[in-house]
Amino acid sequence: MTGRLSATSSRRTRAVESFRTAAEAIGPVHAGMSVFAITRGQFSMIDAVRHVIQACAPATISLWTWTIADYEVQAFTSLMQADIASAELLIDSGARMKNHALIQAWIDRFGPETVRHVRNHAKIAMVEGRGLRVLLRGSMNLNFNPRFEQLDVTEGGPDFDLVRKIQSEIPILPMSASNADVVKACKLNDAFEASQLALFQGLKTWAK
């Protein structure tokens, strides 16, 4: 384990200004890789995840997202058809009504214990398989967006371990879970006073 961490900490990061595809920006997926990319929004987080899945398939994945906008439905649906052995979805609890059908489709594909309802604005994905443990994180949403976006892709290391640890500690809640249940599950009370959290009660989720 020490050797693996040492190799991870000493690797050099490849930095890319990308104008084309996720595959071109990320390049070959291999042990110890580390890529930082700035794009013009020409590919999405799902495009990046699908590229990594090809190297790890059949892959185990997890996808952290806020909500699934109307223009992202097709991309989200296509991801469920990829070569995935198992998957988890962490989605903001505010999306339960708007994205009910899509969440149910995910459950139908991967099982009832694969969705975690959280308070979330992180854009993160983990892809694991063939001895690789790849973490993707960036500003991009599930579909392309013609604006500056950034993406980090790394294999192995404490960042992957941290995300997996946090995810494993989040309980599986039913679709009917209360806001208080979600707040407790996310340990928001450990970071905020109750009076601070109260300021955000009843705020509506953006449609896009």
Query: How far is C-alpha 176 from the geometric centre of its chain's CA atoms?
Result: 23
Each residue of 128-168: pLDDT tens digit? 999 999 999 999 999 989 999 999 999 999 999 999 999 99
Query: Does residue 204 lie in a domain region?
Result: no
- Please, what is the average pLDDT of the chain? 90
Residue 11: predicted pLDDT: 56
How many residues does the structure list for the chain? 208
Query: Does residue 205 lie in a domain region?
Result: no
- Written as one string, the DSSP assignment of 12-79 is PPEEEE-SS-HHHHH-S--TT-EEEEEE-S-S-HHHHHHHHHHHHPSEEEEEEES---GGGHHHHHHH
Neighbour count for residue 94 (Cβ, 10 Å): 19
In this predicted structure, the answer to whether residue 5 has a pLDDT above a threshold of 70 is: no
Give strand pairing partners of 152: 36, 137
Each residue of 16-66: pLDDT tens digit? 999 999 999 999 999 999 999 999 999 999 999 999 999 999 999 999 999
Query: Does residue 203 lie in a domain region?
Result: no
Spatial distance between the Cα atoms of 115 and 100, rounded to a whole number of angstroms: 12
Query: Does residue 135 lie in a domain region?
Result: yes
Query: Does residue 207 lie in a domain region?
Result: no
CATH, residue 10 = 3.30.870
Query: Does residue 42 lie in a domain region?
Result: yes
Of 47, 191, 19, nearest to 119 (Cα)?
Answer: 191
Of 163, 75, 76, 168, nearest to 126 (Cα)?
Answer: 163
Query: Does residue 206 lie in a domain region?
Result: no
Each residue of 93-125: pLDDT tens digit? 999 999 999 999 999 999 999 999 999 999 999
What is the extent of the structural domain holding 146? 2-198
Residue 24: predicted pLDDT: 97
pTM, full prediction: 0.88
- Our count of domains for the chain comes to 1
